[in-house]
Structure 1
Amino acid sequence: MQHPVGLSIVVPVYRGAATVGRLVEALSALQPAGGIEIVLVNDGSPDDSGDVCRALAASASVPLTYLEHARNFGEHNAVMTGLRHARGAYVITMDDDLQNPPEEVLRIYDHARLGGWDVVYTRYAKKEHEGWRNLGSRFANKVADWLLDKPRGLYLSSFRCMSAMVVAEVTKYRGPYPYVDGLIMQVTQRIASIEVAHYPRAEGRSNYTLKRLALLWLNLATNFSVVPLRIAVFAGAAMGVLGLLAALGVTLEAIFWGTPSGWASTLVVYLLLAGVQFMILGVMGEYVGRAFLSANGKPQGVVREMIAARDSERVS
């Protein structure tokens, strides 16, 4: 299949008014094999990112598509919207904060294209995030090792390159809770990794909070794995065994030492069992709730505005 360009760059934009212009300028200077296009997705940003992106769409020297979500849906939802409008033989996703160096784009693209890889992830010798954010990323990757069918130790980065085949399969998912890496792992295992530089944030602070990271982990756990349900089953079985052992202990105490003692121990066991039961109900409720919202058509993303790319060559 012929593609209009060799490489598409998808950039979700949120509070990126101060940096997205510099990013587009740097990307526009690249000359990848087959040409380049840029897709900006404004994910309901509360600053003037929309005005900046519209100006870039009008003046960019390369084809640039601008999409604006009607509200904030989340980074992975914005990436999915961008992927659906990307036309490249390969697509790179990257952040708008200049922590992903634009000069590394060609190296990632060539590594995927010349190596025949479906997906190339980036990894960093040193991450220039805050300490808690680095800890959260490591935790998320450990959880992904456990829950996803992915190569052990592969670092899942938002700075990644995908072939058009992978993009086509990933974007078939229409549910309201996408996790791009989980979708990728369901499509292919022809995955490589390459080390790139990572820069300090050029402006402002990270848009990720502990709440956003927790919701991301929840998407990973409940949308692409049944492991939490299996844990709930094992927890229930373990509590059942513990209950039998406790009953045996009480029976033996009654036989050999008279009246069983221990209101405190009874209360502890009761609270333990109640806690596990509520945990199991919570896990099941999360699955049922997400299935309910998906069945009722909760949108993955709503595009309020689109400015299509001009299909001309570079503007001189």
Structure 2
Amino acid sequence: MTALSIVIPVYNGAGTIERLVHELAKLHIPDGVELVLVNDGSADDSWKVIQRLCTTAPMPIIAIDLARNFGEHNAVMAGYAAATGCYIMNIDDDFQNPPSEVVKLYEYARANPDLDVVYTRYEEKHHSLFRNLGSRFNDVMARFMIDKPKGLYLSSFRCINRFLRDRVVQYTGPYPYIDGLILENTRRIGRLTVQHAPRTEGKSGYTLRKLIRHWLMMFVNFSVMPLRISSFIGAMFSIVGFVMAMVAVYERFFKDTPQGWASIVSVVLVFAGIQLLTLGLIGEYLGRLYLMQRGKPQYAVRTTMVASIKDQGHA
């Protein structure tokens, strides 16, 4: 069995993936390393570059071409399913995680066999302000929704052991959230400080739409807390409504207070908004259950290539 599998989800990474692979090939990992490159429906020539790497790169490569863009977490799940290593590591294709830190993370994980996962944290992050704010909000919500340990940074640059990999890939639903799956299965978590480099090419695909999708995966897939919150809010508004009704009855019979339609309409709109929000939340849960029952795929693999060093013409 290979010592380390490095899973790299590739999305429009034609300009960086070849250089990244050659940098990783220079690293010395005892007992071998394989790359699992997952092309997540890239609109550029990423798959052509990956195909060429399968014949030229001096290291074993498993190349997976997904039928369309399924999202980063789905692509990582495809990579996990194909990985054969004792340890499985994630790294992005944008060079913000320097390849030299791969050895540092792997050696730390191997030196601490009692840990199932090692998350990295950065001395200094080189993300945009929007992404940093999104990450901060996500951190707060993760502590509240999925019981994330305090002080743990959920970085995508992580290393898991074979046991945890086997547990994570058992999830076959269409909306995977890797960190949620990890925290569901283990509390043996390590932390390692690493370097974080500025982006050298292209721009981040981190958008508000993807951020909302990420939050929904966390909230709906791994917690019933939103339903409990909506129930609590509903109960509080019911109490407020009852008190307001009593006040209205009192003023109607004991005070000469004119009854205005504006206050009534405002109250109705508030309650209607709360009801619609709660119905939408319930609908999100039911919709995801329906899609899971219908068999919506987590990902669809169009092509898989497996290239060993021998296949690439190396001794």
- Find the counterpart in structure 1 of residue 305 from structure 2: 307
- Find the counterpart in structure 2 of residue 25 from structure 1: 22
Question: Please, which of 51, 69, 74 is the counterpart of residue 71 of structure 2?
Answer: 74
Identity of aligned residues (%): 50
Following superposition, the deviation at residue 311 of structure 1 comes to 6.4
Contact 1:62 1:313 in 2 (8 A): no
* One-letter amino acid of the structure 1 residue matched with residue 8 of structure 2: V
- Find the counterpart in structure 1 of residue 278 from structure 2: 280
TM-score (norm 2): 0.97
Question: Please, which of 46, 49, 74 is the counterpart of residue 46 of structure 2?
Answer: 49
* One-letter amino acid of the structure 2 residue matched with residue 77 of structure 1: N
- Find the counterpart in structure 2 of residue 108 from structure 1: 105
SS at match of 1:238: helix
Unaligned runs of 5+ in 1: none
Cα deviations across residues 144-177 of structure 1 (Å, max 9, x unaligned)? 1111132112110110000011001000000000
Contact 2:55 2:307 in 1 (8 A): no
SS at match of 2:86: strand
- Find the counterpart in structure 2 of residue 124 from structure 1: 122
Question: Please, which of 4, 8, 12 is the counterpart of residue 9 of structure 2?
Answer: 12
- Find the counterpart in structure 1 of residue 295 from structure 2: 297
> Which is further off, 28-37 or 165-174?
28-37
Contact 2:55 2:311 in 1 (8 A): no
* One-letter amino acid of the structure 2 residue matched with residue 105 of structure 1: V
* One-letter amino acid of the structure 1 residue matched with residue 175 of structure 2: Y
SS at match of 1:136: helix
* One-letter amino acid of the structure 1 residue matched with residue 59 of structure 2: V
Cα deviations across residues 220-276 of structure 1 (Å, max 9, x unaligned)? 110000001111111111110111110111122123213552211111111110010
- Find the counterpart in structure 1 of residue 180 from structure 2: 182
Contact 2:35 2:60 in 1 (8 A): yes
- Distance in 2 separating the partners of 1:235 and 1:7: 48
- Distance in 2 separating the partners of 1:112 and 1:218: 31
> Which is further off, 75-84 or 246-255?
246-255
SS at match of 1:88: coil
Following superposition, the deviation at residue 53 of structure 1 comes to 0.5
- Distance in 2 separating the partners of 1:143 and 1:311: 44
Q: How many positions carry a matched residue from both structures? A: 313
Following superposition, the deviation at residue 96 of structure 1 comes to 0.4
Q: What is the alpha-carbon root mean square deviation over aligned residues?
A: 1.4
- Distance in 1 separating the partners of 2:65 and 2:91: 17
Q: Residues 231-310 of structure 1 correspond to what in structure 2 (within 5 A)?
A: 231-258=229-256, 261-310=259-308
Following superposition, the deviation at residue 35 of structure 1 comes to 1.2
Unaligned runs of 5+ in 2: none
- Find the counterpart in structure 2 of residue 162 from structure 1: 160
Contact 2:58 2:309 in 1 (8 A): no
Following superposition, the deviation at residue 81 of structure 1 comes to 0.1
SS at match of 1:277: helix
TM-score (norm 1): 0.96
Cα deviations across residues 65-117 of structure 1 (Å, max 9, x unaligned)? 10000000000000000000101100100100100111001111111111121
